[in-house]
Amino acid sequence: MADRLRVGFMGLGYMGQPMVTRLLDAGHAVTVHNRNRDKCAPFAARGATVAASPRELAAGSDVVVSMLATSAAVEATVAGDDGVLAGARPGLTLIDMGSTAPQVSTALAATCATRGVAMLDAPVAGTVRAATDGTLVVMVGGDESAYAAQAGLLSTFGKHVFYLGPSGSGARMKLVVNILLSLTSQALAESLVFGAAQGLDRQKMLDVLVTTPSSSGVVQRKGQAMVNRDFKPAAPLRLLYKDLGQALSVAQELEIPLPATATAHALYATGMARGLAEQDFAAIHAVMEHLAGLDTRKNP
């Protein structure tokens, strides 16, 4: 159980909301901030303080957690005019749990350090359900003693909390995780479409695949979504497209090839261009069916 801390939380999206609920359940003194203030109301009703700006949030907190959608949003709320650094006392710890680009994360951490603020990058893997249950996977980069001081707080969110190394290491690990996730989904879609084009039954194929050593939670759940053509978003395709793009941009700087990632990225881009951005990323199956003409010609 973590000590009672004054915890600020920015970013009340679909992941942020259950995370704040867990903080309140754990008895922390929580202050929240969100661009759209309406989302703060339910938490205020449970006793959370509402801050008008990141600056104000920081001023009243020992630790600030951010869960924002884009790297640009993180930059603005941390280093902007009315941002966290404008209100932070030396000694504050900032934990960025969104999927921020490693380069941005590292640069911001350096800026924070000049102000006496320790910044950890701590992105997560997992769904809204895992956020609700506190079973996220949390990948942490930054100063190791700053991590050690916050390990208790982080365990509020995740069953598995990993310390990966210096600043940016968590953000880098998140890209590693999402390469595997995106390419596994692409592989699954391509294998199902290949079988269907030969007349094999989609459900029977999935029944076989889940008995093989390649089976995983992704194969089971995304496979069923593909068979059912049910692409109600758990994680929208555009998010994985963004992460694959970030990975390739990091690889550009590293001067290393990622050929399978590049191929998958081009297929996710096809999904973006053909209007599937807001569908679940399992809709990569719809992209493959379209390319194979299975959506327009009679199946053999």
Q: Which of residues 159-188 bind a copy of itself (CB under 8 A)?
A: 159-160, 162, 164-165, 169, 172-173, 175-177, 179-181, 183-184, 186-188
Between 36 and 211, whose beta carbon lies closer to a copy of itself? 211
Eight-class DSSP state of 51: -
Q: How far is the CB of 270 from a copy of itself (least distance, A)?
A: 5
Contact call for residue 27 and a copy of itself (CB under 8 A): no
Q: Which are the contacts of 226, defined by CB distance < 8 A and separation ≥ 6?
A: 188, 189, 192, 202, 206, 282, 285
Q: How far is the CB of 238 from a copy of itself (least distance, A)?
A: 8
How many amino acids of this chain bind a copy of itself (CB under 8 A)?
86
CA distances from 138 to 50, 131, 161 (A): 26, 11, 5
- The residues with which 63 forms a beta bridge, in sequence order, are 7, 93
Q: How far is the CB of 124 from a copy of itself (least distance, A)?
A: 10
Contact call for residue 198 and a copy of itself (CB under 8 A): yes
Contact call for residue 137 and a copy of itself (CB under 8 A): yes
Contact call for residue 201 and a copy of itself (CB under 8 A): yes
Contact call for residue 52 and a copy of itself (CB under 8 A): no
Alpha carbon distance 289, 276 (integer Å): 13
Could you give the 3-state DSSP secondary structure of residue 9? strand
Q: How far is the CB of 127 from a copy of itself (least distance, A)?
A: 8
Contact call for residue 90 and a copy of itself (CB under 8 A): no
Which residue of 195, 224, 233, 239 would you call a contact of a copy of itself, by CB under 8 A? 195
Q: How far is the CB of 289 from a copy of itself (least distance, A)?
A: 10
Q: What residues numbered 250-279 form the site for a copy of itself, per CB under 8 A? A: 250-252, 254-267, 269-270, 272-275, 277
Q: What residues numbered 214-233 form the site for a copy of itself, per CB under 8 A? A: 214-219, 221
Q: Which are the contacts of 127, defined by CB distance < 8 A and separation ≥ 6?
A: 234, 235
Alpha carbon distance 59, 83 (integer Å): 10
Which residue of 3, 45, 199, 232 would you call a contact of a copy of itself, by CB under 8 A? 199
The 8 Å CB, 24+ separation contacts for 72-81 are: 73/11, 73/98, 74/98, 74/100, 74/104, 74/105, 74/108, 75/104, 75/108, 77/10, 78/54, 78/108, 78/111, 78/112, 78/119, 79/108, 79/111, 80/54
Place of tokens 């700087």: 253
Contact call for residue 151 and a copy of itself (CB under 8 A): no
Between 239 and 294, whose beta carbon lies closer to a copy of itself? 294
